[in-house]
């Protein structure tokens, strides 16, 4: 029974963390997959959105729904500004993302300071955690599971996945997908790709804002140093998920949508992290291995090995 309890607790922890990160990771489908831009703005928009939410609730007494909407709106506006710099001011997308990440980090720091806690009992997870605690009282001490939190996060993940998939099948979504690889063709057909791409940056960072606020509420506080490096984490997990989905699709003839592959990558990532904690392995090691794996995958896709052989002929 001890093995069963350990396994269930292990799986519960992985699923909670994977589903909690899903909204933030889902932004990669819009920014990296559709726009083909590793949008560094999310390093700043995540801080800004979470800071806006906690400051409105703690310092201004704003209700949770309105504060959460304001956080999502802050992420959306942050993305729009990056899109405007890229499409209207013709600034390199990487540079525009870095500049805005710096600006929004500074704004978050001004709003927040180093850290700020949510008031007890005011977040989306307050009631859910209480219900999970009551549920766990009838379970063995070695078994720790969170059915209410898991159900809530699963519901959010399903709604967001369906919404993103629906959007990408509509006219603007099709244009957004095409703008990353066939922008000139779409422009020749009279499509305003600039407006669509700016909207794409906005929607991607709105997801980032929602995801960052959700994670902060689960943690119970917003900490300014938690979010730098978000783009590295999100991009790594997304690529791992997409590559795993590609291999599974090739082997079992069961293709997964990009939005579904994201959750697969998130589960794999947190499985590796949890295994490291279990066996006291430094978490830096698996991150190095994941980075190396991504380099090898991208090198294979881009024909790096062929060009390397040709270089030394």
pLDDT in tens, the chain (313 residues): 677 878 888 899 999 999 999 999 999 999 999 998 889 999 999 999 999 999 999 999 899 999 999 999 999 999 999 999 999 999 999 999 999 999 999 999 998 888 889 988 889 999 999 999 988 887 777 788 899 999 999 999 999 999 999 999 988 888 888 877 676 656 656 667 888 899 999 999 999 999 999 999 999 999 988 888 899 999 999 999 998 888 888 887 778 888 999 999 999 999 988 888 888 878 777 778 788 877 877 777 767 777 777 777 6
Would you put residue 144 in left (φ > 0), alpha (ψ -120 to 50) or beta?
beta
Closest alpha carbon to 205 in 97, 297, 106, 292: 97
> Residue 62 burial by CB count (10 A; 0-12/13-18/19+): exposed, middle or buried?
middle
> Residue 172 burial by CB count (10 A; 0-12/13-18/19+): exposed, middle or buried?
middle
3-state secondary structure of 76: helix
**Amino acid 189: pLDDT:** 64
CA distance to 54, 70, 96, 198, per residue, from 57 (Å): 5, 11, 31, 30
Spell out the residues 6+ positions from residue 193 whose beta carbon is closer than 8 angstroms to its own: 175, 179, 183, 186, 187
Closest alpha carbon to 113 in 21, 225, 198: 225
The dihedrals phi and psi of 253, each to the nearest 5 degrees, come to 55, 45
The structure tokens 């997801």 sit at: 207
Does pTM surpass 0.95?
Answer: no
* 289 close to 283: Cβ distance less than 8 angstroms: no
* 18 close to 237: Cβ distance less than 8 angstroms: no
Domain ranges of the chain: 2-226
Please tell me the distance from the alpha carbon of residue 181 to that of residue 313, in angstroms, as a whole number.
33
């Amino acid at each position: 029974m001890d093995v069963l309890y350990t396994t269930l607790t292990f799986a519960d922890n992985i699923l909670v963390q994977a589903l909690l990160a899903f909204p933030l990771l889902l932004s990669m489908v819009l920014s990296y997959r559709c726009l083909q831009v590793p949008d560094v703005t999310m390093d700043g928009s995540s801080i800004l959105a979470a800071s806006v939410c906690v400051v409105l609730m703690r310092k201004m007494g704003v209700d949770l729904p309105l504060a959460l909407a304001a956080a999502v709106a802050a992420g959306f506006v942050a993305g729009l500004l990056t899109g405007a710099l890229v499409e209207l001011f013709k600034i390199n997308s990487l540079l525009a993302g870095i500049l805005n990440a710096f600006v929004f980090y500074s704004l978050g720091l001004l709003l927040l300071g180093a850290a700020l806690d949510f008031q007890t009992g005011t977040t989306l997870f307050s009631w859910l955690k209480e219900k999970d605690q009551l549920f766990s009282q009838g379970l063995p001490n070695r078994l720790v599971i969170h059915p209410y939190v898991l159900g809530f996060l699963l519901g959010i993940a399903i709604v967001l996945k369906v919404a993103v998939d629906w959007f990408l099948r509509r006219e603007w979504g099709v244009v957004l997908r095409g703008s990353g690889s066939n922008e000139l063709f779409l422009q020749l057909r009279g499509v305003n790709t600039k407006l669509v791409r700016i909207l794409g940056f906005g929607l991607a960072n709105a997801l980032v804002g929602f995801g960052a606020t959700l994670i902060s509420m689960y943690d119970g506080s917003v900490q300014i140093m938690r979010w730098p490096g978000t783009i590295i984490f999100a991009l790594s997990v997304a690529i791992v998920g997409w590559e795993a989905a590609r291999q599974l699709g090739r082997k079992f003839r069961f293709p997964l949508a990009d939005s579904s592959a994201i959750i697969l990558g998130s589960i794999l990532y947190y499985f590796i992290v949890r295994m490291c904690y279990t066996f006291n392995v430094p978490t830096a090691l698996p991150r190095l291995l994941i980075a190396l794996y991504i380099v090898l995958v991208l090198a294979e896709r881009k024909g790096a090995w062929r060009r390397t052989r040709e270089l030394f002929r």
